[in-house]
Amino acid sequence: MVFKNSYEDDAYAAAYAKLEFPGTYYLAFRDLPEILASHVEGDQALDVGCGTGRSTRLLCKLGFDAVGVDIAEEMIQKARALDPSGKYSLVPDGDLSQFANDTFDAALSAFTFDNIPTAEKKIALLSELARLLRKSGRIINLVSSPEIYLNEWASFTTKDFPENAQARCGDRVKIIVTALDDKRPVADIVWPDEDYREVYGKSGLEVVEVYRPLGRADEPYFWVSETTIPPWVIYVLRKI
C-alpha cells in the first residue's frame, strides 16, 4: 500500500504552522538543549523533516547555523513565511545530494522517521545523514514511542483507533493531535526500539545514548500518561 504523507496538505500545514511546544510536545523538546550541548561539537546543523520550521527555529535559537529540509512543499512554504531569513529547502524524497560529505556537526530529525514507511527508506535516509556528518558529528533522531499510539495524552488521542494495538513494525497507526485546530487523524508508521537498532546498524551508525523523557508533576501541564509512559524516544547516534 502506498503511504501518503499527511503533511503534503495545505490545511494541515496551516494548522501545524501554529503549533509551538504545547503539552506532550514540550516533552519532546524540553531536554534537547542539554542533549545537544552534551553531545554535539560545532554549530553546523541540518534539520531533516523540518516541517513548518519549528525544530529549525529551535536549533537557530540554540546558536546553530541550521538548514531545514522537507519533502512537503506545503510545509516548507509555511516555514519560509514564518521565518523569512531562515534557510529552508524542498527536497525530493531522500535526496540530500545538494549537501557535500562531512558538512554537518548535527543532524536533527524530529518526528520525521514516524513518516518514513519502510526499512529500506529508513536505511537510505540514515545512510545519507551519515555521509553528511563530520567525523565527530551526531544524529539526533527524535521519534514517537510505540506506546504513544496506545494511550491518551495531554496533546494526543488514540482511543478511536483500537486497531493500533495490533500494529507491528512497519504498520500504519493513527493518532489525532488534539493541540491542533485540524483534528483529522495523522497516519504514522510504528517502529519499535529493536527495529530502530537494526536499521541503525545497517546504516553504519551506533547508538551513543537514548533518552525517554517523562513529564514531572510540578510542570504546568495536565499530564495524562506522560508521567509514567514516555511518549517520545530520542536516539543520539554516531558513525561507526
Ligand X SMILES: C[S@@+](CC[C@H](N)C(=O)[O-])C[C@H]1O[C@@H](n2cnc3c(N)ncnc32)[C@H](O)[C@@H]1O
- Name the residues that contact ligand X, by CB under 6 A: 5, 7, 48-51, 54-55, 69-72, 75, 93-94, 110-112, 115-116, 125
Q: Which long-range contacts (CB under 8 A, 24 or more apart) does 73-77 make?
A: 73/8, 74/7, 74/8, 74/9, 74/10, 74/12, 74/13, 75/7, 75/8, 75/13, 75/16, 75/50, 75/51, 76/50, 77/13
Separation of first and last alpha carbons in the chain: 34
Please identify, using beta-carbon distances, which residue of 51 and 215 lies nearer to ligand X: 51
CB of 152 to ligand X, least distance (A): 19
CB of 174 to ligand X, least distance (A): 14
CB of 214 to ligand X, least distance (A): 20
How far is Cα 182 from Cα 179, in angstroms, rounded to an integer? 9
Nearest to 155 by CA among 113, 118, 111, 195: 111
CB of 109 to ligand X, least distance (A): 7
39: enclosing H helix or E strand = helix 32-39
CB of 28 to ligand X, least distance (A): 8
Total count of residues recorded for the chain: 240
Please identify, using beta-carbon distances, which residue of 120 and 136 lies nearer to ligand X: 120
CB of 5 to ligand X, least distance (A): 5
Please identify, using beta-carbon distances, which residue of 6 and 44 lies nearer to ligand X: 6
Please identify, using beta-carbon distances, which residue of 51 and 230 lies nearer to ligand X: 51
Please identify, using beta-carbon distances, which residue of 70 and 226 lies nearer to ligand X: 70
Residue 208: phi and psi, rounded to 5, are -90, -45
Neighbours of 149 (CB within 10 A): 22
CB-nearest residue to ligand X = 51
Place of cell 523569512: 84
Please identify, using beta-carbon distances, which residue of 94 and 192 lies nearer to ligand X: 94
